[in-house]
Amino acid sequence: MISHTVQTAPIAGQKPGTSGLRKKTAVFREPGYLENFVQCIFDGTGGATGKTYVLGGDGRFFNADAIDVIIRMAAANGAKRLIVGQNGILSTPAASNLIRKYETDGGIILSASHNPGGEDGDFGIKFNAANGGPAPEKITDAIFAKTQEITEYRIADQHAGDIGTIGSFTVGDCRVDVIDPVDDYESLMQKLFDFDAISALFAGGFRICFDAMHAVTGPYATRILEDTLGAPKGSVINAVPSPDFGGGHPDPNPVWARELVAIMESKDAPDFGAASDGDGDRNMIMGKGAFVSPSDSLALLTAYAHLAPAYSGELAGVARSMPTSQAVDLVAEHLGIACYETPTGWKFFGNLLDAGKATLCGEESAGTGSSHIREKDGLWAVLLWLNILACDGRDIVQLRADHWRNFGRNYYSRHDYEEIPTDAAEALIGGLRARLGDLPGTHVAGMEIATADDFTYHDPIDHSLTERQGIRIRFTDGSRLVMRLSGTGTQGATLRVYLERFVDRSGDHDQDVQAALAPVIAAAETLADITRHTGRSRADVIT
Give the integer Cα–Cα distance in Å for 543 and 538: 13
Relative to beta strand 3-7, strand 152-156 is antiparallel
Q: Are 237 and 207 in contact (CB under 8 A)?
A: no
User: Which letter does DSSP use for residue 136 in this model?
Assistant: P
Nearest to 500 by CA among 520, 525, 527: 520
Helix (H, G, I), strand (E, B) or coil at 215: coil
Residues 6 or more apart whose CB falls under 8 angstroms from that of 384 comprise 192, 193, 301, 305, 308, 311
What is d(CA 507, CA 6) in angstroms, rounded to the nearest whole number?
66
From the CB of residue 289, how many other CB atoms can be counted at a distance below 10 Å? 13
Burial 100-116 (b: 16+ CB within 10 A, else e): bbeebbbbbbbbbbbbb
Helical spans, DSSP H, in 177-279: 183-192, 195-203, 217-221, 258-264
Can you tell me whether residue 456 is helix, strand or coil? coil
Residues in the chain: 543
Residue ranges with strand state E in 70-201: 81-89, 107-110, 122-128, 152-156, 167-171, 174-179
Compute the half-sphere exposure of residue 28: CA atoms within 13 Å on the CB side of its CA: 31
**Other Cβ atoms within 10 Å of 200 Cβ, number:** 14
The CB density around residue 69, as the number of other CB atoms within 10 Å, is 17
Selecting among 113, 235, 321, 479, the annotated active-site residue is 113
Is 111 in the active site?
no
Positions marked active-site: 113
